[in-house]
């Protein structure tokens, strides 16, 4: 049991929750440690129960997965999250990856594929097979030369003070550029900016 991948499932639809639970429990690779039906209970479980992967429905009531992802990204050891949705819109996976998700699954595909996504994410991989790479690159194209340079340094774990020294600008100027950078990338903080940067660099 200790070697099994521990999973939490957060799904607001009772029938879907049952189906996903049975799917995960039937696979010997996983141990289902909790199922929840709201964003609030999901957040509590994610913060208090030791687990490897959180599988969450994008539209889970009432906060939604996007807000949960943002909260989890601020934790010292962020949980790996797989976002599930019924829509085939490219907007959801793009917003999910920007918020800090590690994987994405659309329920219009074979359910068994979700198991592979969970397995890959548990090993540190990012799984976003439904994103148009050309669309993902658009945000970076909107950055200025200075913003792109700061983002590259940010991805190396540099502090604001170190960024200022590296680029010969004041700390307040760094903060100004970072705020603009976050707005253009539709992220809220450096963790999300770094996650998006690395996801785009892998394509």
| Partner residues linked to 34 by β-bridges | 8
**Is the omega angle on the peptide bond into residue 62 within 30 degrees of 0, that is, cis?**
yes
Could you give all domains of the chain from N- to C-terminal order, each with its CATH number? 5-131 (3.40.50.2300), 136-201 (1.10.10.10)
Find out whether 19 and 13 touch, Cβ atoms under 8 Å: no
pLDDT tens column, 10-23: 999 999 999 999 99
Residue 166, Cβ density class (10 Å: 0-12 exposed, 13-18 middle, ≥19 buried) = middle
Find out whether 68 and 96 touch, Cβ atoms under 8 Å: no
Distance between CA atoms of residues 174 and 150, nearest Å:
8
For residue 127, give the DSSP letter. B
pLDDT tens column, 32-70: 999 999 999 999 999 999 899 999 999 998 888 988 998
Instruction: Report pTM.
Output: 0.65
Distance between CA atoms of residues 66 and 59, nearest Å:
9
């Amino acid at each position: 049991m200790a070697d099994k991948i521990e999973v939490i499932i957060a799904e607001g639809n009772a029938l879907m929750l049952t189906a996903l639970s049975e799917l995960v429990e039937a696979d010997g690779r996983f141990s289902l440690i909790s199922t929840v039906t709201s964003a609030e209970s999901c957040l509590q479980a994610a913060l208090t129960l030791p687990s490897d992967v959180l599988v969450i429905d994008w539209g889970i009531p009432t906060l939604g997965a996007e807000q949960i992802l943002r909260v989890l990204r601020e934790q010292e050891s962020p949980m790996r999250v797989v976002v599930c949705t019924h829509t085939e819109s490219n907007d959801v996976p793009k917003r999910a990856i920007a918020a800090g998700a590690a994987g994405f699954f659309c329920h219009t595909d074979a359910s068994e594929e979700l198991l592979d996504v969970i397995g890959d994410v548990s090993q540190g991989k990012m799984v976003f097979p439904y994103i148009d790479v050309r669309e993902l690159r658009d945000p970076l194209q909107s950055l200025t030369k200075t913003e792109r340079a700061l983002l590259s340094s940010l991805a190396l774990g540099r502090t604001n003070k170190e960024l200022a020294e590296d680029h010969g600008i004041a700390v307040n100027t760094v903060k100004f550029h970072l705020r603009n950078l976050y707005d253009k990338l539709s992220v809220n903080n450096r963790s999300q900016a770094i996650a998006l940067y690395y996801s785009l660099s892998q394509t």
